[in-house]
Structures are given as C-alpha cells and as structure tokens.
Structure 1
Amino acid sequence: MHTAWPETAMPVIESTINIISALLNREVTYTIYLPESTTPQSLLLLNDGQDAEALQLKATLEQQYERYGIDALMVVAIHAGEERIQEYGVAGKPDFKQRGDKAGLYSQFITEELLPAVYKETGFSSFKTTAYAGFSLGGLSALDIAWNHSGIFDKVGIFSGSFWWRSKDLTDGYTDADRIAHRLISESVSKPDLKFWLQTGTADETADRNKNGIIDSIDDAVDFIKELEAKGYTRPADIQYLEMVGGEHNPATWAKAMPKFLCWAFGS
C-alpha cells in the first residue's frame, strides 16, 4: 500500500526505454523521470531501477519538489539484468567467488553507451550536479563508477552498501584488509572530487564476524568512512552518514531514506 502524497506543483513524467548494449551483449531497460515542463538542473543515475515502484520513486520526487524545493531532476533508473551479481561490484576486482567479474564492462556501459543515449534521447547533457546512487550491491557499483569517473559524477549515494564484498572467504584466512571497497579507497593514489552519502539500518542483517555486538553492515560502513577520512575527506562537508534504527535491507527502508538523500544531494 503506497503512501498518499499531497498534490504537487511539479508532476513527474515517467518513460521507459530499451537499448541494446554491445558491451554487455544484452538489452538494457532504463526508466527516465523528468519534471513536467521544466528543464532539469541535475542528473541522478540509479542502479536497480526495476525497484523504482517499491521505492515510491515517482511520488517521492513529486513530494520533494513540493515540500523542499530540490533541484529539478532527471533521474535515470537503470534496471538490473539477469547477471546483476556479475555486472555490479568493483571493476577489475571480483570477489572470492568471482562475482562482479563484469563490473568493468558495466562501468563502460554507463559512461560509453548509456549516458550518450540518454543525452541524445532527452536533449539534456549539462547539469549543475550529477550523482550516482544504488542499493546493496548496486550501491557498491555506484561508488566504484563514481570514484573512477569523478569528471562526470559529483556525488554518490550508497544505501545499505555491500561493503562486506571481499576477496577472501571467511574460512580462508580472511581479515578486514580483504574488503574490496575499503581497498579501493586506501590504495587509490588520487582523491577524487566527490561527496558521499551513506545509509545503513540497524536491522540490515544479523551477521557479526568479529563478535563485537555490532552487525557487520554497520561496522563495514563505519570503517569505510574511516578510509575516506584517511584519504582527506571530512564530515560533514564531504561525508554524510544515516543510521536508521530498525532499518532493514529492503526497498521499504530505502524509500524512507530516499528523501534525506535527495535533499542532501539536490537541495537548493
């Protein structure tokens, strides 16, 4: 059952498009959300766009325009394919099960095929802010792509990010140094001009590798923030962290967090 939002002064128009990706060797579906009769000032790419309805994305955008006056946005919600777990991840660094081995191709698809197609389709290609966001493994993917293409992206949103993504199994001599996202930051010689928004929920999971009474998703997110700080990013100027009491690993929780992300990324 969806929440009933108030009438909005800026309706959002939704259109779904299919393109053939030579890089991914498949058809890719994406849905564009544009404010009616208004030129978008900013762009948001969103992984796992097939969940947009569960996220109440269209209604949330309309509410944010009405109540908080965020930038007029073009949102491109990219639907995941059957190989989601291979296409999402960190480019060139699959996990211990070789998941994410197509993350490099997915990154190329975003920058070389999707964005040019979107610019051509809509006629919009210049934006004040360009952000990339995603959920769970899609959040890790958004981080990796934004980190490596900071000439395109200004901000990244990571909802319940898969910061546990690791190069060794827990039973194969794993240490926290084997977390791939953390190494992406610590081993980078550069400090991209990016800002970061992270969310976790206290009920994201129940796993607690180090038995410290804190679930892994929170430990991993906090440690990731520490890596960003070690690189020279600061809170709150560059990093925002939302820990939701009772928040779960699902679109219902992420839908509740979405307005806060939108205000942070695109607030006037």
Structure 2
Amino acid sequence: MVRGLIVGAVALFVSTVAVAAPGDAPLPTALASGGARPVSLPESGAAAILPLDAAAGDYVAGAIDVSQGSVTLDLVAPDGHSIRRLGAEIAGSQDFHFVAGEGGERLRITAEEPARATLRLTRRLSPGEQVTPPAYLSARIAGLAAELSAGGTTDAFWAGIAEAGTPLIEPESEGKVVATFLQRGARRNVRLFGAPSGDHEALERLGASDVWFKSFVIPDTTRLSYQLAPDVPDLPGDARERRAAIVSTAEADPLNRHPFPADAPDAYNRDSLLELPKAPEQLGLTGEAAPAGSLETIRVQSALLGNERRVSIYRPHGFDPGDKANRLLVLFDREPYLGTVPTPSILDRLIAAGRLPPVVAVFVSSIDRETRGRELPDNPRFADFMALELMPLVRDRIGASVPPDRTILAGSSYGGLAAATVALRHPGVFGNVLSLSGSFWWHSKDEAEGEEHVADWIAGMPPVPVRFHLTAGLFETGHAGSPGILETTRHLRTVLRAKGYDVSFEDYAGGHDYVVWRGALVDGLMRLVQ
C-alpha cells in the first residue's frame, strides 16, 4: 500500500561512512529536512552507507529519486547486516518509512548498474511527537481544550452553557450546523440515546475535566429528541443486554430547556428536544383551542387472534355521519398517538381551521411489546382482524361507512410496515397508506438476509388500488453494510413508482422519533386527503 508523504521541518543529521567494499561513494555529513543530496554510484555493486541520527522509537520518513540506472535501498544495523529492504530495483521515485529500533541504524544504497540518485530525508518524530492532536468539530470545545492545557478551568464554560442551554449549536457551512451534546461530571461514561448517527453514541471526556461531549454536523432543519445516560453499567452478557443497560440511567438533559413531553412524571420518562430554527413547521400542535371532538374507548375481542385490545374512536366536533367529505384514519399504537403525539387536539385545530376535512380517527392498541412484534410485521391473520372484525365494528359505532379511497391506514416503525401490508391484503377496505419510518428492512424467517419483504412482494404482484405516502428520517440510515429505514423506504418508493402506484415520499432531518412523526403524520394526512 502506497501512502503519501508529509514533509516536515525537522532536520536529520546524516554522516557518511564509506564501507569497506570498493566503489563506496561517501556522502556529506548532514542533510536538512526538505533538502536534497545527489548520490553518484559509478558501477554495479557500488554502495553508500548513511549513518542516521535517529534514536530508538523515532519515526523516520524520506524518499529516493533515481534519475539514472537502478538501486536497492536497505536499512542496516551498525554491524552491516540487513534489517529491512526498503526498495529494490528502484528506477524512479520511491518513499520509505520506518521506526528506528535500538538506534544506530543506517541506510545503504547499492547500485545495480551505474546510477545517479537523490536522497531526501523528510521527517523524524520522536515517540512523544507521534501523537495526532485532537480534531474538534466544535470551536468552543477546541477553545476550552486550549484553556485547560494552559491551566484553566471549566467554570466559565459551564456558566455560559447554563445560560444558553444545550445542545451547543455553532455554524458549520451552508445548511449545516455543529451540534455538541454535553454532560457534566460523569464518573465512567456517558451515552447519547437518540443521536443523529442513529446509534447510541458514547460521549468523550475532555482530558481529565468534568466535560463530556459529542459533536455532529447536522442539517439546520433538524428536529430530534434525546436522552443522556451517565455511568451506564458495563454488564456481563451479550451485546444486546449491555445495550439495554442504557435505559437504566437514561434521562432528560438537565441543561436542556425544552422537555418532551413537558408533563412527564420524572426525568427518566422525559426526553429533551433539539429543534433548530429552520426545522419545518408542525401544524396543529399550537394555536388557539378549537372545539374538541369526542373520544370513546372500547374493548375489542378478536376470535381470529384470540385476544382483546383497547380501541379508541375520535369523532370531530359536530360530526355528521352522512357527510360525504368524511375521512377515516386508522392508526396503530394507540397509546403514544393519544399521549406523546396529541392527535385528537391536532385534528381539532386543523379541522376547525379548514386545513383538513372531518376526520374520524381510530386508535388501535398493540396490547404489549411481544404482541406488537408478532402481529404488525405482515401477519395475515392480523390483517384479517383489521378488515373483517375491527372495521365492521367501527362502521357500526360511528354510524357511517367510509369508502376505501377515503380511508387511511397509518402507523410508525412496525406500524408503518403493517399499514402497507394490511392495505395490500385488503385494498377493498384500506385505500390509502401513511407510513412513518416504516420498518421496510424487515423480512420473514423464510426469506434470505437482506431481502426486503414488502418491496419484493409489490414487485411481483399486480398493482392494487392503494395510494402511498412514505416518510423516513435522514438519520435512519443502515449500519454495518445493512440498509436502514431511510434506504429501504426510498427503495420501496422506487418500486411503487415502477409499478404505477400513486406514491409520495418525504424525508426529515431527524430520526426514529415521535417528535418527527407528530409533524409527518399531519403532512401525510394533508397529502392523502387531496
């Protein structure tokens, strides 16, 4: 592997000693870094020995440029035996690099035929100099590092951070900023839950100070929620168990001024928000209170699934079952879409403002984590429950039958995956799909690793009358060579278009996050009611 050479400003002192063999060509005693020294070897076998002023562990770099003939370059011990061949049959230019052993090594240039060459010794670094200085994305962190190196403290830094709040935001380039997440005083480690990388990132400690930090370059339209997990236990067990331990200490950032949700019972159940000024507007979250619709919660038993779940039905204020403009929204994951995302109040405002037609919303509980993981990823029996058991019950409760082209099936993550697969199995009931960060990376146990179940299914089946609106976060990228939600959603969009479907797609500068989905839900509704 050929590596580029960085020319330094270090002088290397070279004294020339002729070897005992005839034809040796002595060189002058000193060669400065960046300089050049010609070597003339008049016959085959002629050699020059160059003792080097290099101590044990020194990194030495240089180059030899051969303008006539060819030479061999060796690193040799003081007694003349060869340590390392640095190049053979060199007829042009070649770099060399080595680390000095015990010291006293020499370079030997041997002519393979009459030759002329120029030797350049360009760099020597002692062991103490062989350290790459830290590169900080954040100018504030770089400045603090310099202050600490000069004997300063972190007091003024933390006072400024407390006044401004976290994360620390600094300009980077057009359309980009540097966001630095900060934690003060952890003993062992800090993890960032909800990082822009899409992973649980480890914060770095700034020297021996009380500053833990991690910086990212992100779009200036970013919106995300996050938690900090200080001093996460390093548990015995597999990687999954150790990763899960983050939850044991994850809490809202104490220096962040934007809690989410604000009424959470404690810091462990609260996230912190980062919403940059250019983040897209999220309609319906704020504004004057609108006449409230009604919310009814019922228990629905399923003979097909052998279980029971809660289902909540929202009717807009002044709901008229006979209004031909009515839309029906069926949304998975009932609990977060009635709490973390205040869907009923969002609908109240947008319907009252005329931004949406009357929308009846049905919130379907997933019961528990295990049931959710079994039912939502393309379960034909669950799809039948939705179409054949739940929807007739909903029609009876609201006193109206909304046609499939005005019925929207929606969900996020596994719910976004289920919205697509249930509608594909029952297009005569659900004519619109609103998928928020759908888990389109998913494949069944019978499918090969890397297959994308929904995209492959759609590619191989005749089109059905279903419209799609797909969303994904720019931070939902894959890892370790596997595609993530962003890549697989974009691929699904391409497949749908190729098959002639009506499909729209929107990406957001965010991650797998309800704070993104609360806006994306409205954007998708407004697209699909057109």
Matches of 1:206 and 1:156, distance apart in 2: 24
Structure 1 residue corresponding to 2:508, chosen from 244, 249, 255: 244
Alpha-carbon distance in 1 for matches of 2:308, 2:445:
33
2:380 match: 104
Q: Tell me which of 152, 160, 183 is aligned to 2:437.
A: 160
Query: Residues 208 and 160 from structure 1, CA distance in 2 versus in 1: closer, same or farther, beyond 3 angstroms?
Result: farther
Name the CA distance, whole Å, in 1 between partners of 2:448 and 2:458.
22
For the residues of structure 2 that align with 1:174 and 1:119, how far apart are their CA atoms?
41
Kept in 2: contact 1:45–1:77 (CA 8 A): yes
Which residue number corresponds to residue 498 of structure 2?
230
Partner in structure 2 of residue 115 of structure 1? 391
* Aligned match for 1:88, one of 365, 368, 376: 376
Deviation at 1:31, TM superposition (A): 0.8
The whole-number CA distance in structure 2 between the counterparts of 1:38 and 1:118 is: 15
SS in 1 for 2:428: coil
Q: CA deviation at 1:179?
A: 1.2
Tell me what 1:97 maps to. none
Question: Any runs of at least 4 consecutive aligned residues in structure 1 with deviations exceeding 6 A, and if so which?
Answer: none
Structure 2 partner of 1:220: 488
Instruction: Select the structure with the greater relative contact order (CA < 8 A; seq sep ≥ 6).
Output: 1
CA-to-aligned-CA distance 1:211-265 (integer Å, 9 cap, x gap)? xxxx6221111111111122122xxxx11111001x1212221002122112112
Query: Matched residues in 1 for 2:300 and 2:340: separation?
Result: 23
Q: What value does the CA root-mean-square deviation take over the aligned residues?
A: 2.1
CA pair 25-60 structure 1, distance change in 2 beyond 3 A: same
Q: Structure 2 matches for 1:38-77, cutoff 5 A?
A: 38-39=319-320, 41-52=326-337, 53-77=339-363
**Does the CA-based 8 Å contact 1:150-1:194 persist in structure 2?**
yes
Larger proportion of strand: 2
Tell me what 2:524 maps to.
261
2:449 paired with 1:174: yes
Identity of aligned residues (%): 26
Cα deviation for residue 38 of structure 1 reads 2.0
Match of 2:419 in 1: 142
Contact 1:68 1:263 in 2 (8 A): no
Question: Structure 2: which 5+ runs fail to align?
Answer: 1-261, 264-284
> Alignment partner of 1:164: what SS?
coil
Structure whose alpha-carbon radius of gyration is higher: 2
Q: Which amino acid is the alignment partner of residue 5 of structure 1?
A: G
The answer for the alignment partner of 1:202 in structure 2 is: 474
Among 179, 183, 187, which residue is 2:460 paired with?
A: 187
Amino acid at match of 2:341: L
Q: How far apart, CA to CA, are the structure 1 residues paired with 2:485 and 2:498?
A: 20
What SS does the corresponding residue of 1:44 show, helix, strand or coil? strand
Counterpart contact for 2:383–2:425, Cα < 8 Å:
no
Q: Which moved more, 1:34-43 or 1:23-32?
A: 34-43
Partners of 1:126 and 1:205 in 2: CA distance: 37
Aligned residues: 240
Segments of 5+ residues of structure 1 without an aligned counterpart are 91-102
Conserved? CA contact 1:205–1:249, under 8 Å? no
How much does 1:173 deviate? 6.6
